[in-house]
Amino acid sequence: MESVTPILEFKKTCVSYTKQTMAVKYVSAAIERNTITAIMGPSGCGKSTLLRAVNLMHNLYQNIRVDGGILLNGENILAMEPIDVRRRVGMVFQRPAPFPTMSIYDNVLSGFTLNGIKLSKAEKDVTVERCLRSVTLWDEVKDVLNKKGTFLSGGQQQRLCIARALAMKPDVLLMDEPTSALDPIATKHIEELLLELQKEVTILIVTHNMGQARRISSKSMFMYLGELVEYGDTEAMFSKPSDERTKAYLTGKMG
């Protein structure tokens, strides 16, 4: 048996907004490479807060403290430069928000422009096509690449945002309820896409939709009041939750 460093590992990770209250309490878990891990839990349980700790989003705001460790390929990201971490850990948000002043083409490349990386025209073309193909948007938009991203439908915009994150070739992709603002058809589309994408990137997805977690994830976390209650194979958790609280949540007895 060989020991592999997990791509991402939480080690007693804590996040606190004020001195008294902790939003995330001592979460420890190792995330396997090329899997989709769903984080579930009632609203306010700290699942988004945990997710946002992974790409140091909390550093943007004063008074939020992250303690413990979060290891990316064995390196503690809390000791790294945020801009370096964020380039290696992509993020997709709840509401699709392509940059309104940029074309579809430029939106895909926005990670490079924002980081001040210059690409040749050929490199740009290749990247745009690769990323848009991997989010299955290429055929829909290949003739309107110079239009503003905001002209697309909600589902298309969200796929554009995924493409934008993928362009940076991240190790991990964080998704914060990426389909909660979308209609069922667009949601299905994104779910199929994620199943494809796990071949190239490890995905950590926060969702309040149990069906979604079950459909796409191989591993699941259940969080409650800031604690990681249960973490394991999705199928096992849904069929035989080991904790009463998980059971209550999965059977709809808890918000």
Partner 1 sequence: MTTFKIKNRLAKDKLMLWSVCVLAAFTAVPLLAILGEVLLRGYDQLSWSFFTEPTPTAYKAMKAIEAGEPIPGGIANGIIGTMIMLGMAVIVAVPVGILCGAFLAENSKNRFAQVVSYLTDLLQGTPSVIIGIITYIWIVVPMKGYSAIAGSVALCIMMLPLIIRSTEETLKILPASLKEAGLALGGNKARVMLKVQLPAAFGGIFTGVLLAISRVIGETAPLMFTALGCSLIRFSIDKPISAVPLLIWEFFNDPNLQELIWGASLFLLLFVLTLNLLSKYLAKKWNQ
Partner 2 sequence: MNDKIYRVILFIAALIVPTVCGGVIYALVTDAYDAFEYFGFFKFLTSSEWSYTEGAEQYGALPFITGTLMTTLLALVFCIPFSLPVALFVGEYFKGTKIAAVLSTVTDLLAGIPSIIYGLWGFYTLRPIIMALDISEQGSGILTASLVLAIMIIPYAASLSAEFIKMVPNDLKEGAYSLGATRAEVIRKVVFPVAGSGIFSSYVLAIGRALGETMTVTMLIGNTNNIPDSITSTGNSMASIIANQFGEADGLRLSSLIAIGLILFLITAAINMVGKIMIKRARIS
**Strand spans (E) along the chain:** 8-16, 22-31, 36-40, 65-72, 75-76, 89-92, 172-176, 202-206, 219-224, 227-233
Least distance (Å) from partner 2 to the CB of residue 162?
12
Least distance (Å) from partner 1 to the CB of residue 65?
21
HSE (side-chain half, CA atoms, 13 Å) at 56: 19
Name the token pair of 227.
């604690």
Name the token pair of 206.
């926060």
Among 16, 110, 187, 246, binds partner 2 (CB under 8 A): 110
Choose from partner 1, partner 2, none: what does 46 bind? Cβ within 5-8 Å by kind.
Answer: none
Least distance (Å) from partner 1 to the CB of residue 172?
17
Least distance (Å) from partner 1 to the CB of residue 114?
10
Contact 122, 153 (CB under 8 A): no
Residues 55-94 that bind partner 2 (CB under 8 A): 55, 57, 60, 82-84, 86-87, 90-91, 93
CB nearer to partner 2: pick between 114 and 144: 114
Counting residues that bind partner 2 (by CB under 8 A) gives 27
> Strand 219-224 vs strand 36-40: parallel, antiparallel, or unpaired?
parallel
Residues 82-141 that bind partner 1 (CB under 8 A): 83-84, 87, 115-117
Contact 171, 7 (CB under 8 A): yes
Residue of 65, 70, 62, 88 whose CA lies nearest to 29 = 70
The contact set with partner 2 (CB under 8 A) reads 55, 57, 60, 82-84, 86-87, 90-91, 93, 95, 97, 99-102, 110-111, 113-116, 161, 164-165, 168
Site residues (CB under 8 A) for partner 1? 81, 83-84, 87, 115-117
